[in-house]
Homo-oligomer: A and B are copies of this chain.
Amino acid sequence: MVEIIEGGITTPQGFKAAGVHSGVKYRSLDMGLLYSEVPATAFMAFTSNNVKAAPVQLMMNDKSEKLSAVIINSGNANALTGRRGYEDAQTMQKAVAAELNLEPKTVGVMSTGLIGRFMDMPKIKFGISKACKALGVGRESDNLICEAIMTTDTIKKECAVRVRLEDGTLVNISMISKGSGMISPHLKALHGTTLSMITTDAQLTPAFYPTFQAILDDTMNMVSVDGDQSTNDTCIMMANGLAGGKPADQDPNFIDALRVLVTQIARTIAMDGEGATKLITVEVKGAETKEDAKKVIHTVINSPLVKSAIFGSDPNYGRVMMALGNSGAKFSINDVHLTIKGGDMVVDILDSGAPVFQDETSVEVVRMAMENKEVILQLDLGVGTASATGWGCDLTYDYVRINAEYAT
């Protein structure tokens, strides 16, 4: 039903994009602009960190139901910048509005980069003017905006899907995202994760908000690179309706397609976590509640001991159980099943509260499973029927290097 297609943020009809160099960063592209030819119904979600960046505060105050454009700069997060930062975010919004002949409130603003420095506004204004003139459609524009919003990311996060709605309309949905460190969205209602933009030519009404939130909760909000939630996390979806057809709010095909799309990006963010060499997927079932299942996932996926063991393919699965014990979730130790999957290998670890493997030779099989680019930890808590899935990455020398040297 859902078809993953070669495409990017301008694949849905009526969207244009640009990525330019404003000069905030020394050489790399550092400013992106997304534009919809017709005002799009907007769905926004923000960080639940209580220290919110200026653009996040501005968007939350604006509460816009329609957006025509989103301006994004990288290199400076405009966070911890007080009143001056807020005014700078407003200036960005107004500059885009003036160039494109829009109402300021229909322009979304996102920033990412260093915290605690004022924006270099002459450069920012120069970049905005340049970006407005550079708007285009197609794979080159898709690539430029993707590149412009990256910070420590090593790969572009982009995915596009096509799906036929129940009324026969063929719609496109596309998503781009940036995020590699300071990634651990929290489980509060209506908040976002990293910088993400979703475009679709489907028609949606504000009634779609709860579904949008539910999909984020099961996807983006289940990703953690380092347990640190950003001050800037923002996810904006723009639905411009240019594909025609009825509102897709309740369309199961549309909902499926959006879920597939966001799951794909969520996995990519975890895989490209700062310094990561492996994707860790944690699947919990047999939990009493879904909340319990998610608690276990967050504790396991944020444990530095679990993460560094997986980096070293060190079969120290006791640490997964240590994390389970710290999660606060209910489980029955004698009924807990832990399975480690990697490549074609599926290895059952526990039997009646103790590991199956006791000697060095038999433990080797666990190491072999761990020597894969994706390591899947499956935990059955043995007390119920609720389940959840989450994604993280290993803790490596490079994570430390990147973050010991970031501001310098």
Binding site for B on A (CB under 8 A): 49-52, 77, 79-85, 114-118, 181-182, 186, 226-231, 302-305, 308-309, 311-312, 314-319, 321-328, 331, 333-334, 350, 352-355, 358, 363, 395-397, 399-401, 403-408
Residue A228 contacts which of B305, B312, B400 (CB distance < 8 angstroms)? B305
Chain B residues with Cβ under 8 A from A312's Cβ?
Answer: 403-406, 408
B226 and A305 contacting across the interface, CB-CB below 8 Å: yes
Chain B residues with Cβ under 8 A from A85's Cβ?
Answer: 354
- Known A-B contacts A115-B316, A117-B355, A396-B400; the reply to A50 vs B227 at CB < 8 A is no
Q: Nearest B residue to A323 by beta-carbon distance?
A: B228
* Complex CA distance for A405 and B303, rounded to whole angstroms: 16
| A–B Cβ pairs within 8 angstroms, 26 of them | A50-B325, A51-B324, A77-B318, A80-B353, A80-B355, A83-B352, A115-B318, A115-B321, A118-B358, A182-B322, A228-B322, A230-B322, A231-B318, A231-B321, A231-B325, A304-B399, A305-B403, A309-B406, A311-B400, A312-B403, A312-B404, A312-B406, A314-B403, A314-B408, A397-B401, A399-B400
- Known A-B contacts A305-B181, A325-B231; the reply to A82 vs B49 at CB < 8 A is no
* Complex CA distance for A84 and B399, rounded to whole angstroms: 40
- Known A-B contacts A305-B228, A352-B82; the reply to A326 vs B49 at CB < 8 A is yes
A406 and B316 contacting across the interface, CB-CB below 8 Å: yes
A403 and B308 contacting across the interface, CB-CB below 8 Å: yes
CB distance from A293 to the nearest CB of B (A): 15
B118 and A227 contacting across the interface, CB-CB below 8 Å: no
Chain B residues with Cβ under 8 A from A400's Cβ?
Answer: 308, 311, 395-397, 399-400
CB distance from A408 to the nearest CB of B (A): 6
Chain B residues with Cβ under 8 A from A186's Cβ?
Answer: 326
Chain B residues with Cβ under 8 A from A397's Cβ?
Answer: 397, 400-401
A316 and B114 contacting across the interface, CB-CB below 8 Å: yes
CB distance from A275 to the nearest CB of B (A): 9
Residue A305 contacts which of B52, B77, B182, B311 (CB distance < 8 angstroms)? B182
Residue A355 contacts which of B116, B181, B321, B324 (CB distance < 8 angstroms)? B116
B314 and A406 contacting across the interface, CB-CB below 8 Å: yes
Q: Nearest B residue to A359 by beta-carbon distance?
A: B117
* Complex CA distance for A173 and B10, rounded to whole angstroms: 71
Residue A82 contacts which of B118, B302, B353 (CB distance < 8 angstroms)? B353
A325 and B49 contacting across the interface, CB-CB below 8 Å: yes
Given contacts A50-B326, A84-B354, 14 further A-B contacts (CB under 8 A): A51-B321, A80-B355, A81-B353, A82-B334, A115-B316, A116-B318, A117-B355, A226-B305, A227-B227, A231-B322, A304-B395, A314-B404, A316-B406, A395-B403
Which of the listed residues A118, A181, A231 has the most CB atoms from chain B within 10 Å of its own CB? A231
